[in-house]
Structure 1
Amino acid sequence: MVKRTGEVIMGVIGIVLSALFSIIGIVLNMGMNSPEVMSQIEEGMESDPNLQESGMTAGDMSAFMETAESMGSYLVILGIIASILGIIAVMTIVKNKKPVLSGIMFILAALVVGLGTIGFGFIPGLLFLIAGIMAFVRKPKRTETVY
């Protein structure tokens, strides 16, 4: 029997970090929907001399805000998907039940959070990827039975 402690620990840390992307997305959505936050951001943009010199207009600012708002929903969805895949992978690797299924789920979670966030989810993606590779590679020791 192979102990799968490493895979479980890396999976749980990856799940927590993936869930943080969902929390960040929720905070972004709440901030972009709040009129007070929007007015503070607009005031800060108007008073910043560096932005005025760069030629950023009010239209550019509204496009930036729309992008940030859509990014929030995107981060929430990616975080939830990666967390669910990670939870399934951890549940199937405990007690060495189904290491192949677990490895596939870990690698899918790594792809979702690593590539889906365009590299911002590098750490949880890397943890999921290492756990997935470990799930595939580690095999139980063969014992020879002599009769």
Structure 2
Amino acid sequence: MKRTAEIVMTVIAVIMSGLTALFGVLMNLGMSDPEFAEVMEDEMATDPAMGEMDMTAFMDILAIAGPTMVTVGLVSLVLGVIGIIAIKGNKKPVLAGIMLILAALVIGIGTIGFGFIPAILYLIAGIMAFARKPKVTEQHI
């Protein structure tokens, strides 16, 4: 049985998970630069849409978001790669389904909705891994 649809969706989700981790690395680099953090804080302080938000608390949240994005992106990337390896050649579709659904939960919940698209792709591929069964052929003697 060919598992092309699951593999394609998982590869796209793995790439997007890697981009999420890369975005987290860039956030870490930006927040570690004091000049960038100061300019960003000044820009947000003058933005009328921000209202009277505590900028220090908001910058602390952004400082925590970078490492979280890196961790969540890498964990879901690894789970997705394990899912691809397990489903390639229809070897272990149950293991692949479990890994893909776990990857969907990790990136969907861990990024608080930022990783919505890869989470949906992982979830669909995981459900397909469970639901699609090879056709049973009858042999007559």
When normalised by structure 1's length, the TM-score is: 0.89
Aligned to 1:44: 43
Report the Cα distance in structure 1 between the residues aligned to 2:38 and 2:131, rounded to whole angstroms.
54
Aligned to 1:144: 138
Letter matched to residue 55 of structure 1: E
Q: 1:18 to 1:61 in 2, by over 3 A?
A: same
Q: CA offsets, 1:86-133, max 9 Å, x none?
A: 000001110111011000000000110112212221110110011011
Aligned to 1:133: 127
- Of 117, 120, 134, 1:123 maps to 117
Aligned to 2:14: 15
Q: 5 Å matches for 1:1-147?
A: 2-45=1-44, 48=46, 50=48, 54-56=51-53, 60-147=54-141
Report the Cα distance in structure 2 between the residues aligned to 1:93 and 1:18, rounded to whole angstroms.
19
Letter matched to residue 52 of structure 2: G
What SS does structure 2 have at the residue aligned with 1:145? Answer: coil
Instruction: Give the alignment's Cα RMSD to 1 decimal.
Output: 1.6
Q: 1:119 to 1:6 in 2, by over 3 A?
A: same
1:45 CA drift (Å): 4.1
Letter matched to residue 76 of structure 2: A
The structure with the largest alpha-carbon Rg is 1
Q: 1:125 to 1:141 in 2, by over 3 A?
A: same
1:3 CA drift (Å): 0.3
Which runs of no fewer than 5 residues in structure 2 stay unpaired?
A: none
Aligned residues: 141
Letter matched to residue 94 of structure 1: K
Report the Cα distance in structure 1 between the residues aligned to 2:21 and 2:47, rounded to whole angstroms.
34
Aligned structure 1 segments of 4 or more residues deviating by more than 6 angstroms = none
Equivalent pair of 2:41/2:59 in contact (CA under 8 Å): no
What SS does structure 2 have at the residue aligned with 1:27? Answer: helix
